[in-house]
């Protein structure tokens, strides 16, 4: 039945587009460029004012997020407010095509 095959293919394309959209929206909502995940760990300069704040950076070699004390000075771009946003942006769950395909049974 051609209509059923067309509907299944259409659904697969829509599902894949939704996954890509969700991934790009995550980075946009947090205002962080995914390319920052591959940047070196922060090399922050000590500040004279204020106390350090706990922040997180992504280590692309280990694919994990680690904490550090952010002084508020410096220009490191690989920094996140919490481990959840660090992992969600830099190491999101991966989906295979098989995960996205609807069952045709």
Q: Please provide the size of the chain in residues.
A: 105
Q: Name the CA radius of gyration of the chain, rounded.
A: 20
- Residue 24 CA neighbour count, 13 Å, CB half: 6
Domain ranges, ordered by start, for the chain: 1-31, 35-92
Q: Which residues contact 102 (CB under 8 A, 6 or more apart)?
A: 8, 11, 12, 15
pTM above 0.85, yes or no: no
User: pLDDT digit string (tens) for 55-96?
Assistant: 999 998 899 999 998 887 777 788 899 999 999 888 876 666
Domain 35-92, CATH homologous superfamily name and number: Pancreatic trypsin inhibitor Kunitz domain (4.10.410.10)
């Amino acid at each position: 039945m051609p209509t059923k095959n067309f509907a299944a293919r259409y659904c697969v394309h829509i599902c894949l587009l939704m996954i890509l959209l969700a991934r790009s929206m995550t980075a946009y909502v947090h205002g962080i460029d995914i390319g920052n995940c591959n940047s070196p760990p922060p090399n922050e300069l000590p500040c004279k004012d204020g106390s350090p704040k706990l922040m997180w950076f992504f280590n692309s070699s280990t694919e994990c997020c680690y904490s550090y004390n952010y002084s508020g000075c410096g220009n490191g771009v690989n920094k996140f407010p919490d481990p959840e946003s660090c992992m969600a942006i830099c190491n999101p769950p991966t989906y295979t095509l098989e995960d996205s395909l609807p069952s045709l049974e």
